[in-house]
């Protein structure tokens, strides 16, 4: 695709941010930063602790958390929580549902841990779903004590059901980074449901949040007390729990991230909770899926409709389409971050349809794509 003429200005969306995370931030969240006197103050003092308490209570209400579950916060993002889990939740071995890059990366952290057995993997090709059964064992017939999988695979746009895996004292650990806040979920089916705030929550990164069950807290305390395990404080989930119930983090957090997160949670609760957020994202994503189903040049990358994401729509284009030139043409006019995840596919665009993404902007994006496809030489 060469010599693409500029897209007419009247076709452009009002906001061209369509990334799969970080996502667009509402103006009201930015305004809250200007109005706040919290930045530059101690996170151990009452004003910031009140902010953390508001976040924890807001999330408890938004997700209707079961009795006994704690909202736990820590620094480092969801990828840091992989190492927290490797240190504080996996006793000997873990099994993983791997159907994209992020599930694969979590499993690789277990492989690198010298105190754990090699990860057990149930894998599917990119664009398909891999589901654990709870009967997985390693080559020696040993069962996992943790079963882990993504609720949503950001790299491909595959959505998984959330269900408890295994029996006895095995824990179910679910990566919800790019769907938490935009989908209904039964948190009681998990022991750790963890995510970051820079996706559906429209905040900044650098923080992980997890809904942790009593069983997971017991496991973390057990491994914290184990004499044969090296456990850095930064990766010690039991310390994160002890700090979180005091409405603080172990280390100094980014206060701006907390302020924007708190404002977004309040907005979500006011706008219909998780039902309302999921409905917004589904309405926006359906604009793209309907377009792809009707086009001769593009199709949904995830072939099974029930597995298609409503927050990250991955589209695969015909071989005749130069998707790199398509993405560059969009970026040149302010429509940004629609590139595929590295290593997944070079004929794809990946488009975020978060609860804050208006249908009108998605419709404008489709009009821009149609224009580029029709006017490319």
Concatenated DSSP letters for 159-209? E-------STT-EEEEE-TTTTTSS---GGG-SEEEE-TTSTT-S-SSEEE
CA–CA separation, 324 vs 349, rounded Å? 9
Average pLDDT score over residue span 70-82: 96
302 vs 292: CA distance, rounded Å: 11
Domain stops at, among 251, 269, 287: 269
Question: C-alpha angle 195/215/141, rounded to 5°?
Answer: 95
Tokens 């882990």 belong to 148
Which residue range(s) make up the domain with 291?
A: 10-25+272-374
Residue pair 220/88 in contact by the 8 Å Cβ criterion: yes
Residues 32 and 18 in one domain: no
Q: For residue 1, is it within any domain? A: no
Q: pLDDT tens across 135-156, in order? A: 999 999 999 999 999 999 999 9
Read off the pLDDT of residues 257-315 as tens digits, 9 standing for 90 and up.
999 999 999 999 999 999 999 999 999 999 999 999 999 999 999 999 999 999 999 99
| Adjacent-strand bridge partners of 98 | 123
Q: Give the 3-state secondary structure of residue 74.
A: strand
Residue 120: CB atoms within 10 A of its CB come to: 21
Q: What is the CATH number of the domain that holds 336?
A: 3.90.1150.10
Q: Is 204 in the same domain as 300?
A: no
How many domains does the structure of the chain reveal?
A: 2
Within a domain: residue 298?
A: yes
Q: φ and ψ at 276, to 5 degrees?
A: -65, -40
Largest CA distance in the chain: 67
Q: Are residues 258 and 119 in the same domain?
A: yes
Q: Identify the band that residue 1 occupies on the pLDDT scale cut at 50, 70 and 90.
A: very low
Residue 255 lies in a domain: yes
Residue 10, SS3?
helix
Nearest partner of 129 among 163, 98, 95, 172, judged by Cα? 98
d(CA 11, CA 371): 9
- CATH number of 78's domain: 3.40.640.10
Residue 211 shares a structural domain with residue 113: yes
* Same-domain check for residues 166 and 254: yes
**Whether residue 220 sits in one domain with residue 110:** yes
The helix (H) or strand (E) run that includes residue 316 is: strand 312-317
pLDDT at 136: 97
> Domain boundary at 243, 269, 295, which?
269
For residue 4, is it within any domain?
Answer: no
Q: State the average pLDDT over residues 176-199.
A: 97
Q: Are residues 83 and 183 located together in one domain of the fold?
A: yes
Q: Are 179 and 200 in contact (CB under 8 A)?
A: yes
Closest CA to 8 of 376, 256, 372, 328: 372
* Cis omega (within 30 of 0) for bond into 22: yes
Asked if residue 278 is part of any domain, the answer here is yes
Same domain, 180 and 320: no
DSSP helix/strand/coil, 244? helix
Task: Please check whether residue 3 lies inside any domain of the structure.
Answer: no
For residue 5, is it within any domain?
Answer: no
The answer to whether residues 342 and 252 belong to one domain is no
The pLDDT score that the predictor gives to residue 377 is 54
Tell whether 179 and 322 lie within a shared domain. Answer: no
Examine the domain organization and report whether 17 and 109 are in the same domain.
Answer: no
Q: Which among 235, 269, 303 is the end of a domain?
A: 269
pLDDT of 353-372, one tens digit each?
A: 999 999 999 999 999 999 99
Burial of 207 (0-12, 13-18, 19+ CB in 10 A): buried
pLDDT digits (tens, 9 = 90+) for 90-145: 999 999 999 999 999 999 999 999 999 999 999 999 999 999 999 999 999 999 99
Q: Is the pTM of this model over 0.85?
A: yes
The pLDDT confidence band at residue 3, using thresholds 50, 70 and 90, is low
**Other beta carbons less than 10 A from residue 326's beta carbon:** 20
Q: Is residue 2 part of a domain?
A: no
User: In 3D, which of 300, 303, 317 has the Cα closest to residue 353?
Assistant: 300
| Same domain membership, residue 301 and residue 238 | no
Whole-number Å distance between alpha carbons of 208 and 193: 11
Q: Among 314, 299, 306, which Cα is nearest to 344's?
A: 314
């Amino acid at each position: 695709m060469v010599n693409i003429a500029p897209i007419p200005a009247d076709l452009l969306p009002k906001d061209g941010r369509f990334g799969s995370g970080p996502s667009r931030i509402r103006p009201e969240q930015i305004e809250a930063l200007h109005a706040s006197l919290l930045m530059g103050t101690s996170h151990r003092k009452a004003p910031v602790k009140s902010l953390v308490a508001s976040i924890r209570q807001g999330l408890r209400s938004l997700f209707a958390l079961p009795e006994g579950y704690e909202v736990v916060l820590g620094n480092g993002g969801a990828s840091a929580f992989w190492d927290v889990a490797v240190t504080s939740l996996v006793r000997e071995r873990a099994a993983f549902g791997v159907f994209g890059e992020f599930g694969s990366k979590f499993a690789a952290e277990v492989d690198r841990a010298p105190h754990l057995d090699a990860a057990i993997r149930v894998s599917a090709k990119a664009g398909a779903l891999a589901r654990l059964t709870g009967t997985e064992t390693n080559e020696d017939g040993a069962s996992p004590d943790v079963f882990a999988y993504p609720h949503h695979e950001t790299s491909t746009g595959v959505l998984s059901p959330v269900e408890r895996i295994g029996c006895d004292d095995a824990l179910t650990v679910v990566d919800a980074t790019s769907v938490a806040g935009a989908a209904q979920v039964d948190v009681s089916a998990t022991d750790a449901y963890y995510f970051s705030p820079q996706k559906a929550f429209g905040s900044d990164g650098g923080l992980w949040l997890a809904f942790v069950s009593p069983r997971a807290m017991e496991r973390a305390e057990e491994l914290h007390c184990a004499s044969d395990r090296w456990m850095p404080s930064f990766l010690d989930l039991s310390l994160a729990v002890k700090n979180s119930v005091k409405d603080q983090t172990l280390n100094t957090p980014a206060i701006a991230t907390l302020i924007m997160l708190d404002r977004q949670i309040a907005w979500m609760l006011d706008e219909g909770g998780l039902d309302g957020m999921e409905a917004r994202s589904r309405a926006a994503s359906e604009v793209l899926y309907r377009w792809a189903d009707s086009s001769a040049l593009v199709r949904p990358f995830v072939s099974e409709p029930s597995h298609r994401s409503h927050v990250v729509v991955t589209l695969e284009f015909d071989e005749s389409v130069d998707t790199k030139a398509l993405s560059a043409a969009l970026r040149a006019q302010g429509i940004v971050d629609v590139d595929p995840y590295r290593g997944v596919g070079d004929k794809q665009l990946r488009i975020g349809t978060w609860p804050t993404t208006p249908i009108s902007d998605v419709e404008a994006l489709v009009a821009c794509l149609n224009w580029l496809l029709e006017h490319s030489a």
